[in-house]
A = this chain, B = another copy of it.
């Protein structure tokens, strides 16, 4: 049986999570539209619960559990937005939640997860998988993988579904790509409803395994030890996600670090929206596409807004 969620499953996810997560607004910029000679619609998932689209997938996954799974709880390993999102969703439904985190995870992320009421288990960074599996067996809990779980992919797809409901047909839709949960869900929705539309993933050059996987037709290994401001995109593309993207002719546009930072600054300074650099990859990719956007209706998912502004230039140097 296919693990790939259908459009109908994504519609069902949208019904399931309605009332628990925000129907986020769509933002634009007259300045940007003039620069690119296009109509750009940003889906503001930075304004989503927990500050990222991850609330959609996690809420769908948690509210898809059966009663026996609810009793045994869920587990995942993550120090990022998925951890906070899963903790948030479990809090909504009263499900026990265990998050396995590296000992050196940023304090602010630890506090966020704890604030939602999850239990945190710390371990060495390279033992996360193992610790998570052992605990899962012991607890009998359900592992909610951040991007290969079909319920997660279906939940993330609801962002593009809403965007199309809000702004109508689009010629091009962009989303950032890391593990590929958001981009997979986006591709399913857009290609089903508008088969002629282009779906484009935006990826930092530093971690371009999705680009190389789709170019070569074979899933490439995760880039290890890379440095990028796109901290939400350091994960390697998942196998299921690779298949979903390949089958739908999804394209990848790679962006340089300075392009990502400049795009994030534009969104902060001109659009007054707080975004994390990962989210700004979609705008950086638009600038790379340049004349290809001319006269087009373009949608892009601003994936999240959780940032400490470490990438932001200090006032003196600006």
Query: Interface residues, chain A, CB within 8 Å of chain B?
Result: 25, 27, 46-47, 51, 108, 268-269, 271-275, 305, 308-310, 312, 314-315, 318
CA distance A158 to B106 in the complex (A): 44
Q: How far is A27 from B310 in the complex, measured between Cα atoms in Å?
A: 26
A305 neighbours in B (Cβ, 8 Å): 272
Q: How many Å from the CB of A105 to the closest CB on chain B?
A: 15
* A46: chain B residues within 8 A (beta carbon): 272
Return the chain B residue nearest A48 by Cβ: B272
Q: Which residue of B lies closest to A305 (CB)?
A: B272
Chain B residues positioned under 8 Å from A318 (CB to CB):
108, 308
Known A-B contacts A47-B272, A272-B47; the reply to A309 vs B312 at CB < 8 A is yes
Chain B residue nearest in CB terms to A46: B272
**A274 to B44 Cα, complex, angstroms:** 14
Copies of the polypeptide in the assembly: 2
Q: What are the 8 A-B residue pairs with the smallest beta carbon separation, nearest first?
A: A272-B305, A272-B274, A310-B315, A308-B315, A46-B272, A47-B272, A268-B274, A274-B274
- A308: chain B residues at CB < 8 Å are 315, 318
Distance to closest chain B CB from A303 (angstroms): 12
Complexed CA–CA distance, A27 and B47 (Å): 10
Which residues does chain B contribute within 8 Å of A274, judged by CB atoms?
A: 268-269, 272-274
Q: List 20 A-B contacts (CB under 8 A).
A: A25-B25, A27-B47, A46-B272, A47-B271, A47-B272, A108-B318, A269-B274, A272-B273, A272-B274, A272-B275, A272-B305, A273-B273, A273-B274, A274-B274, A308-B315, A308-B318, A309-B312, A309-B315, A310-B315, A314-B314
CA distance A128 to B314 in the complex (A): 30
A6: min CB distance to chain B, Å = 32
Pick the contact of A309 from B27, B108, B309 — CB < 8 Å?
B309
A305 to chain B, nearest CB (A): 4
Collect the chain B residues with CB atoms within 8 Å of residue A47's CB: 27, 271-272
Most chain-B CB neighbours within 10 Å: which of A46, A269, A314? Answer: A269
Residues on the B chain within 8 Å of A271, using CB: 47
With CB as the reference atom, state the residue of chain B lying closest to A25. B25
Compute how far the CA of A80 lies from the CA of B265 in the bound complex, rounded to whole angstroms: 21
The minimal Cβ–Cβ distance linking A31 to chain B, given in whole angstroms, is 10
Q: How far is the CA of A151 from the CA of B14 in the complex (A)?
A: 47
Instruction: Judge whether A51 and B315 touch: CB under 8 Å.
Output: no
* Cβ of A159 to closest chain B Cβ, rounded Å: 15
The smallest C-beta distance from A109 to any residue of chain B, in angstroms, reads: 13
